Amino acid sequence: MRRLIFMMLMLGLVPCLASAQTTDEHHGQGYAFVAPGGASGGGATVTTLHIGGGGEGLLYKGLGVGGELGYWGPTKSFGDGVGLLSVNGSYHVLPRNSDRKVVPFVTAGYSLAFRSATANLFNFGGGINYWISKRVGLRFEFRDHVWFAGPVHYWGFRIGVAFR
């Protein structure tokens, strides 16, 4: 299991390597976020908080790949949370001009929840990066991690910073 987690973390480093590319169509970015949200299943919802960070590399005309690592837990007992590792594909709507401020995106991929055991999840979401400068921006996103065995939706509204 440790090898799997290590390999997935290494996959998350791919975007950092891609960030060395400097053309408008090919660049990398990192981000950090906090996400208030909920865990919904069986007709009930529990409030949650998800914190984390990650990065992604845009490979071709807005298509990208990325990874992130975070911690997710119920707000009433945050210490009982789990680690959450995700590997995703994404698509960023890239305008033709280089002065773009608002860049919408969608993303989806695999997530691994881990603590004393593991669970496999699927995640999807979307949002915008609002670039304040060429290097720093604000990130607003909705993300849902779905555990089909429950079924449970672990969703959140992410607010964060983006950097490139």
Q: Which fold has domain 2-163?
A: Porin (2.40.160)
The reported pLDDT for the residue numbered 149 is 87
The answer to whether residue 95 scores a pLDDT higher than 60 is: yes
Mean pLDDT, range 30-50, rounded to an integer: 96
DSSP letters for 10-37: HHHHHHHHHTT--SSSS-EEEEEEEEEE
Residue 42, phi-psi category: left (phi > 0), alpha (psi -120 to 50), beta (remainder): left
- Could you tell me which residues come within 8 angstroms of residue 48 by beta carbon, excluding any fewer than 6 positions away? 36, 37, 38, 39, 72, 73, 74, 75, 154, 156
The reported pLDDT for the residue numbered 11 is 47
The reported pLDDT for the residue numbered 97 is 63
More confident residue, 3 or 97: 97
CA distances from 32 to 4, 6, 54, 134, 143 (A): 23, 20, 7, 17, 14
Cα angle, residue 119 at apex, residues 115 and 123 outer, rounded to 5° = 115
Count of Cβ atoms closer than 10 Å to residue 43 Cβ: 5
More confident residue, 67 or 98: 67
More confident residue, 86 or 19: 86
The β-bridge partners of 110 are: 87, 122
Structure tokens at 9: 């973390």
DSSP character at residue 151? T
With 0.85 as the threshold, say if the pTM is over it: no
Question: Per-residue pLDDT tens for 72-85?
Answer: 999 999 999 999 99
The reported pLDDT for the residue numbered 6 is 45
Mean pLDDT, range 36-48, rounded to an integer: 95
User: d(Cα 31, Cα 129) in Å, to the nearest integer?
Assistant: 10
Question: Per-residue pLDDT tens for 2-17?
Answer: 444 444 444 444 444 4
The reported pLDDT for the residue numbered 142 is 98
Question: Per-residue pLDDT tens for 109-155?
Answer: 999 999 999 999 999 999 999 999 989 999 999 999 999 888 899 99
Cα angle, residue 142 at apex, residues 91 and 158 outer, rounded to 5° = 110
- Three-class DSSP category at 132: coil
The answer to whether residue 54 scores a pLDDT higher than 50 is: yes
The reported pLDDT for the residue numbered 23 is 42
Domain regions of the chain by residue span: 2-163
